[in-house]
Amino acid sequence: MSRIVVIGNAGGGKSTLSRKLATARGLRHIEIDRLLWQEGWTLTPPDVYTRQHEAVIASDDWLFDGLGQQSSIPPRIARATEVILIDLPLWMHFWLAAERQMAWAAGTLDQPPAGISDMPPTKALFQSIWDVDRNWMVGVRRLCDEAESLGKTVVRLRDLSDIDRFAQRDLRFGGRERPARMPAQRQSQTNPGKTRAIAGPAMAASPVSHRMDPGS
């Protein structure tokens, strides 16, 4: 039974990768922004979000894509059998998010994040990307390190070529019998054979509770 978390800042390609992996592995794909947001980019009531999130992670054979409320990240990672962290440089998240906003405005975006037709405010989106990078990602990296120390598979993708290589390999092998590691990566000393990328720094989490992260 597989329970996969794909996590990272907005504009990093989480949902695009997640759709491919979920199809290849035969898993249910849950885009967390569909739980977090309603039409008009209004937040779902916290109790409703929490109830829906808990129901998903209590089940099996899913791939959960996105950040969601900060308080929901630790139990999601704790329940996961595999964590895929997309951890690109900040400028790349801004660039990819800007490209997506332009496609959204032009009406050429095939799959709008959260299934919401209206484009989110660009200023709010970019502020959220900045805040997540500065205040959330250190905590997310720490949770990934902790998951890895417990023997879970943790994959860290740090640039677009990493994402492309991982997607190609996973689609080829269907999530099974992949080579132990990817090119230009090394195994963690704390858990050899499990990680397929270089470990990130362990730092404290942020007190922020939610942010605008419309998809990937």
pTM: 0.81
> For 85-114, what is the mean pLDDT?
95
pLDDT digits (tens, 9 = 90+) for 117-150: 899 999 999 999 999 999 999 999 999 999 999 9
From residue 157, how far is each of 58, 95, 147, 176 by CA, in Å? 27, 17, 16, 19
Q: Is the pLDDT of residue 158 over 50?
A: yes
pLDDT value, residue 176:
53
Question: In this predicted structure, what is the pLDDT of residue 194?
Answer: 43
CATH number belonging to the domain at 3-173, selected among 3.40.50.300, 3.20.20.60, 3.40.50.720, 3.30.70.260 = 3.40.50.300
| 21 within 8 A of 62, measured Cβ to Cβ | no
Q: What is residue 6's three-state secondary structure? A: strand
Ordered by start, the domain boundaries in the chain are 3-173
pLDDT band of residue 180 (cuts 50, 70, 90) is very low
